[in-house]
Structure 1
Amino acid sequence: MPETSIENEAPKEQPRLPWEIGVFDAHCHPTDTMTSISDIPHMQAMALTIMSTRGEDQELVDEVAQRLGDYQNIADKGSNGKIVPCFGWHPWFAHQISVLNDDTPTPDEEATEAARKIQHYQRVLTGLTESGRDESNDNAFFETLPTPKPLSTLLAETRKRLLAHPNALVGEIGLDRAFRLPMPWQEEELEVRNAELTPGSREGRSLSPYKVAIAHQKALLKAQLQLAGQLRRAVSVHSVQAHGAVFDVLQELWKGHERTKETKRQRKARARDERDEFLANEDDHKEKEEGKGKEQHKAHGQQQKIESRGEKEEGDATKFPLPYPPRICMHSYSGTAEALKQFLLPKVPSDVYFSFSTAINFTGPSPEKVLAALQALPDDRILVESDLHCAGEQMDGLLEEVVRTVCRERGWSLEDGTRKLAENWKRFVFG
């Protein structure tokens, strides 16, 4: 019998992925296919960080979290819930939000609602018909778009949902210089449209020449980042051809709050000062409404409650508002290794993480740039995601693939790597 060559031998079976340690999807969109939601309880992934992006899916993410349960980080074990809901407005839909302040006069106070809608889209979209030419094509396109929602309304709705889910994140938010709005649905396209998909996304439609002005995107991003800071929530950030612009917005919020090297005693003193300032401000506000005596009693009760829980003084400050989000995930990071360094400077007061997906990061024609960025990151700032629109076996498969890729490229064993990634996700979500 002839000898069997190496080439003819069966490939070695890969070691099993240790799902029981915990595999966490840092960014996904299963509410885009609601028929897949029933598969989530049967998935091997421990928890899914589910993004909202637009008007059609905010309530769906809320509904899925209520139905399947929020994931709870209790003694490093999850509850029966598998969902971390995220509420935010994606840059692809930024044009649907009006960022004018309530006291800012509109260009024409007497204009009809239809005229004000056109004026809004003229302000926030680029790629418009050149001046002096027939603008009817622009206006016809604008008429197919929704009436813009005031930013104040969006923020109030998002705050309400975040408060209903104490561990919810703000996301997906960000900037995108490349995206163009899709053309309106044509009758023949609607006839063959997949009815299982949640409305509102592109769904393969051809693209128009219109883009959302980056200044408008920045205003929406900044407002949502500030809301995340006020509630001490992490954020998931979309960035396409805009890493520098995203950093500029964050840097504006970080200004004056940069980290300095502190001793343990200084950290405790700072936390105590922040707590005292917060309680003092609360006292001033409440005294005007309810009376000084009642509020002093309440403040004393709050202090007793903190002490009775045995919380460390340096942890007390995490209960109070910030002007910037405490933790940030740059999702499906596609920038260079050099660009990510600015996010990791010791003075940056937010903890910035970088997540990777097979679909976006490792299937392109030149993944070398992504691999270089992955290699440049500290062990404790790496996350994995599926970025998939459909829950179930396919999502588990993509998660397994990206975990294996990250472990291989970082030189981690599957067990050690899966544990590191799980710990990173928990710190990102819960702090």
Structure 2
Amino acid sequence: MLPFDAHNHVHMGPSPPIQALLPSSATAEILPTCCCCLSGMAIMSTHPRDYQTVLSLAKDLPSQVASSSSSTSIVPCLGVHPWFLHELSLQDWQVDDNDNSSLPTWIQELEALLVANPHAMVGEIGLDGFHFDPTTQQLTSPMERQVEAFRLQLELAARLDRPVSIHTVQCFGPLFAVLSQFSSSNKKRKKKKQSLPPKLYFHAYGGKAATVEQILALCGREIGRVYFGFAPIINFRSPKTLNVIQKVGIERLVLETDHEDAARVPTSMEQGIEIIAAALEMGTQQVVDQTTANAMDLYNLN
């Protein structure tokens, strides 16, 4: 089984996205007969301007990979990232009084695309308390507006039964406030609470081990409900990461790179596999097999 990159932005980088799927020199030595170093990847939108590019890549990339041993799955993910939320226009936020849904235009357009592309997931969405405008020194998007957009996209994902990829940076207070407004179980839906999406993936997770427990308490503890990823370029500089990986456990882990530059994906995947294997005292192939199975479950690729 080959690894799966559960979160990247290769549509935004300088290298052709196909390079994310090609073996590096190291993987070429390990898998000399394989034309692809990944079983697939999930490409995350950040803004409506990305949507069609990501959808096109999901359609075109598999046919560009010549591998007789396995197929390649590309998962398109559509959503507005908190870093780019301020780039939505006033018109995007308008609500049509004649529309009973009372939803902003950008949410209605996102929903239409998701309905038209049932294989698409919701991402990257979330909250960020540390992304500032260099001129004003204020958050690029006010936290109140971030919370509103995050809640709307969670509700949309739940309504359409789609998994979500969630960005969380120095925002666990607002995050928990939003999650607590939802019911964690579709079977135990409370009258005044909408259910959360079926699966939630906390990408490049930077919280403490204790915070994992809080997330599971709010989102659901059953295996297959909540997943976590750790990006080498972001997480592995922190000494706490190995302890957090151990707390999460292999059953809830997926591999990710969070790269824009497709040429950097293969090497980062190798780093992620090695570090997780060391943290959990597992073989590297065991890590690949389980994290790929987890990603397949997360993105409904089984």
Q: Same fold (TM over 0.5)?
A: yes
Instruction: Give the structure-1-normalised TM-score.
Output: 0.58
What secondary structure does 1:167 align onto? coil
CA-atom RMSD in angstroms: 2.8
Are the equivalent residues in 2 in contact too, given 1:258–1:349 (CA < 8 A)?
Answer: no
Measure how far apart 1:173 and its partner are: 0.3
Query: Per-residue displacement from partner, 1:22-44 (whole Å, max 9, x unpaired)?
Result: 20111100010264124345341
In structure 1, which of residues 391, 415, 419 is the aligned counterpart of residue 285 of structure 2? Answer: 415
Measure how far apart 1:207 and its partner are: 5.1
In structure 2, the partner of 1:250 is 179
In structure 1, the partner of 2:169 is 240
> What does 1:82-93 correspond to in 2, within 5 Å?
82-93=73-84
Larger Rg: 1
Measure how far apart 1:259 and its partner are: 6.7
What secondary structure does 1:344 align onto? helix
Distance in 1 separating the partners of 2:108 and 2:53: 17
Greater shift in the superposed pair: 150-159 or 245-254 = 150-159
Measure how far apart 1:324 and its partner are: 1.9
Query: Against the structure 1 CA distance between its residues 156 and 324, is the aligned structure 2 distance closer, same or farther, given a 3 Å change threshold?
Result: same
What secondary structure does 2:182 align onto? helix
In structure 1, the partner of 2:235 is 361
In structure 1, runs of 5+ residues without a counterpart are 1-20, 71-76, 105-149, 182-205, 261-269, 271-321
Measure how far apart 1:78 and its partner are: 5.9
Distance in 2 separating the partners of 1:390 and 1:151: 35
Distance in 2 separating the partners of 1:63 and 1:375: 37
Query: Per-residue displacement from partner, 1:174-215 (whole Å, max 9, x unpaired)?
Result: 00111113xxxxxxxxxxxxxxxxxxxxxxxx5542322211
Query: Per-residue displacement from partner, 1:128-161 (whole Å, max 9, x unpaired)?
Result: xxxxxxxxxxxxxxxxxxxxxx963222222232
In structure 2, the partner of 1:400 is 270
Structure 1 segments of 4 or more deviating over 6 A?
Answer: none
Query: Against the structure 1 CA distance between its residues 335 and 41, is the aligned structure 2 distance closer, same or farther, given a 3 Å change threshold?
Result: closer
> What does 1:82-121 correspond to in 2, within 5 Å?
82-97=73-88, 98=90, 99=93, 101-103=95-97
Distance in 1 separating the partners of 2:201 and 2:255: 10
Query: Per-residue displacement from partner, 1:309-351 (whole Å, max 9, x unpaired)?
Result: xxxxxxxxxxxxx732110111100000011101223972881
State the one-letter code of the partner of 1:170.
V
In structure 2, the partner of 1:180 is 132
Greater helix content: 1
In structure 1, the partner of 2:3 is 23
Instruction: Give the structure-2-normalised TM-score.
Output: 0.80
2:40 matched to 1:47? yes
What secondary structure does 2:215 align onto? helix
Measure how far apart 1:166 and its partner are: 2.3
In structure 2, the partner of 1:73 is none
State the one-letter code of the partner of 2:291.
L
> What does 1:121-136 correspond to in 2, within 5 Å?
none
What secondary structure does 1:239 align onto? strand
Aligned-pair identity in percent equals 30
Distance in 2 separating the partners of 1:166 and 1:78: 23
Distance in 1 separating the partners of 2:70 and 2:195: 30
Query: Per-residue displacement from partner, 1:379-416 (whole Å, max 9, x unpaired)?
Result: 21111111000113x21110111111001100111121
In structure 2, the partner of 1:376 is 247
Query: Against the structure 1 CA distance between its residues 258 and 248, is the aligned structure 2 distance closer, same or farther, given a 3 Å change threshold?
Result: farther
State the one-letter code of the partner of 2:290.
K
Measure how far apart 1:373 and its partner are: 1.2
Are the equivalent residues in 1 in contact too, given 2:130–2:169 (CA < 8 A)?
Answer: yes
In structure 2, runs of 5+ residues without a counterpart are 23-35, 64-68
> What does 1:61-76 correspond to in 2, within 5 Å?
61-69=54-62
Are the equivalent residues in 1 in contact too, given 2:78–2:123 (CA < 8 A)?
Answer: yes
How many residues align? The count is 270
Are the equivalent residues in 1 in contact too, given 2:18–2:61 (CA < 8 A)?
Answer: no
In structure 2, the partner of 1:290 is none
Distance in 1 separating the partners of 2:221 and 2:277: 28
